[in-house]
Structure 1
Amino acid sequence: MTTPFVKSRPDAPAGFFEVEAAGLRWLAVHGGVPVAEPLHVSPTQLATTRLDMSTPTESAAEDFGRRLAVTHDAGARYFGVPPDGWSGDGYIGTIPLPHATEPTRSWGEFYANLRLRPYLRAAHDQGIHLDPIERVCIRLEAGEYDDPSDEPCRIHGDLWSGNVLWTPDGVHLIDPAAHGGHRETDLAMLALFGLPRLDRILRAYDEVHPLRDGWQERIELHQLYPLLVHVVLFGGGYVAQAIEAARRY
């Protein structure tokens, strides 16, 4: 029997591993992207199936793109909803991730108030001021970036390249910050730090679920969320990168 992969953190905050396990289970939809299966969870530890690494291939990239569209299309009850089996907030990396306790009026309102402003406040507390992003929040609340066709999707929420594992059986996902969100947020995060064969992944995704016109022009809008998380965690060059992205909107 393969030895499980075990993550431990004796000082883990309340729910740290439990919400991750709930997110993995929620993302494990039929026909979607496979995930590292949670085997055992406790307040200080999470054991999952161990995954062997492999080389990214064209066929694996195409399969990943198609399956990611299926995962997203499994849907969510509303923007900001936590994964099934969990109530309350979650985590992205090591910091809290607010979840919505009830539906918001729109994606823009959710994104401004639960994905940007919490980290704007945290950055402000560190002496980092990001006024251009607050101006984007105002436009988001006003509905400038909303579209009636945007339905809440079942998203990974922290889909950078390090959480995409290329295995002999295709891509598997790990370490989610899963919630009801916008499909373009996951796609934008894939692009943030680079991913092998991303163009082929996106083409395959679009074949299953055609993306809304202009999605490429909104990539940096959706990247503001992970960039702000990195500002709070690491500061440095992420401050200038976040400001530059915000000024495009």
Structure 2
Amino acid sequence: MSLEARIEAALGQPVLRIVPVHGGDLSDVRRADLDDGRSVIAKSGPRVATEGRMLSALRAAATPVPELLHAEDGLIVLQYLEETTPTATDWADLGTALRALHDRPGERYGWPEDYAFGDAPIPNDTADDWPTFWAERRLLAFGDHLPADLRQRIERLAVRLPGHLPHRPPPALLHGDLWAGNVMFTAARPCLIDPACYYGDAEVDLAMLSLFGAPPPEFHAAYGPLAPGHEKRRPLYQLWPALVHLRLFGAGYRSMVSRLLDTLGA
């Protein structure tokens, strides 16, 4: 069945046109314009059902995300959002929403399902303590695909994690891939898109959000204070997305990984 036919069957509306949407790195993303005047986003691919369940978990936590209109094997259909230029108030609203999300703790670190960014696996098996999870499920997740010298440095760092990370911070519900491109500011509110959820230290989301940019002071003021030592933990948490970028996009990200390892003394 064609994508057009699947959308029509799911929503009970004829599709007038389907156009590609920028940002389909992990799945095929299209905007479908419907006969009733609405537009929706259709995402297809092998992992979109997992993404749908993550969006539902975020929505259940009162986090602003696109409405999940339909989910089936290989296809999810989402509310279409019109993006606007963010104001200082919008950034403050994002800080408030993210703090509310992180204040909903789980029981253990991890997630019921594994995930992936392209061919970079994201193992989510639970762990009882946080340094073990961050070492085994993140920093060492695909060491065999890294240059030998970087792999050895990361292995040495992983052994030292209990001295650098809290043993059992509250297992916050994380977006998991929170860079600026996965925040959509709309006229109504900021919304989070493209999650890679799991439970972990809330500082992970904040570290990712500051890896490729810097949220304004209004965001941080609304989010609230962080635990002492968060500045020293930030490069540890930024190392994971840097490794993902190195795995997916190649040697252009080697310098970022090396710089973070240098900062960490590894």
Same topology, TM > 0.5: yes
Is this contact kept in 2: 1:33–1:64, CA < 8 A? Answer: no
Is this contact kept in 1: 2:71–2:77, CA < 8 A? Answer: yes
What displacement does 1:44 show? 2.2
Other-structure match for 1:33: 63
Q: Percent identity?
A: 34
Counterpart selection for 1:67 from 97, 112, 136: 97
In the alignment, does 2:17 pair up with 1:17? Answer: no
In the alignment, does 2:160 pair up with 1:160? Answer: no
Amino acid paired to 2:59 = A
Give 1:65-214 correspondences, 5 Å limit.
Answer: 65-80=95-110, 82=111, 87-93=112-118, 95-100=120-125, 102=126, 104-124=127-147, 129-140=150-161, 143-147=162-166, 150-194=169-213, 197-206=215-224, 210-214=225-229
Report how many aligned residue pairs link the two structures: 228
What's the TM-score, normalizing by structure 2?
0.79
Greater shift in the superposed pair: 127-136 or 223-232: 127-136
Counterpart selection for 2:254 from 231, 234, 239: 239
Is this contact kept in 1: 2:120–2:142, CA < 8 A? Answer: no
The alignment yields a C-alpha RMSD, in angstroms, of 1.9
In the alignment, does 2:17 pair up with 1:6? Answer: no
What displacement does 1:95 show? 3.2
Is this contact kept in 1: 2:91–2:216, CA < 8 A? Answer: yes
Structure 1 stretches of 5 or more lacking a match? none
What displacement does 1:154 show? 0.1
What displacement does 1:71 show? 0.4
Is this contact kept in 2: 1:120–1:130, CA < 8 A? Answer: yes
Greater shift in the superposed pair: 57-66 or 32-41: 32-41
Query: 1:134 is paired with a residue of what secondary structure?
Result: helix
Question: Higher RCO, 1 or 2 (CA under 8 Å, sep at least 6)?
Answer: 1
Is this contact kept in 2: 1:89–1:98, CA < 8 A? Answer: yes
Query: 1:132 is paired with a residue of what secondary structure?
Result: helix
What displacement does 1:3 show? 2.0
Other-structure match for 1:218: 233
Is this contact kept in 2: 1:89–1:99, CA < 8 A? Answer: yes
Query: 2:173 is paired with a residue of what secondary structure?
Result: strand
Is this contact kept in 2: 1:166–1:172, CA < 8 A? Answer: yes
Query: 1:211 is paired with a residue of what secondary structure?
Result: coil
Distance 1:42 1:65 in 2: 32
Bigger fraction of residues in strand:
2
What's the TM-score, normalizing by structure 1?
0.85
Distance 1:214 1:97 in 2: 27
CA deviation profile, 1:202-224 (whole Å, cap 9, x unmatched): 22111xxx310121222111001
Query: 1:162 is paired with a residue of what secondary structure?
Result: helix
Other-structure match for 1:50: 80
CA deviation profile, 1:23-71 (whole Å, cap 9, x unmatched): 11111245x4301122112232221111110111111111110110110
CA deviation profile, 1:125-175 (whole Å, cap 9, x unmatched): xx77432222211111xx112335611110000001110101101210111
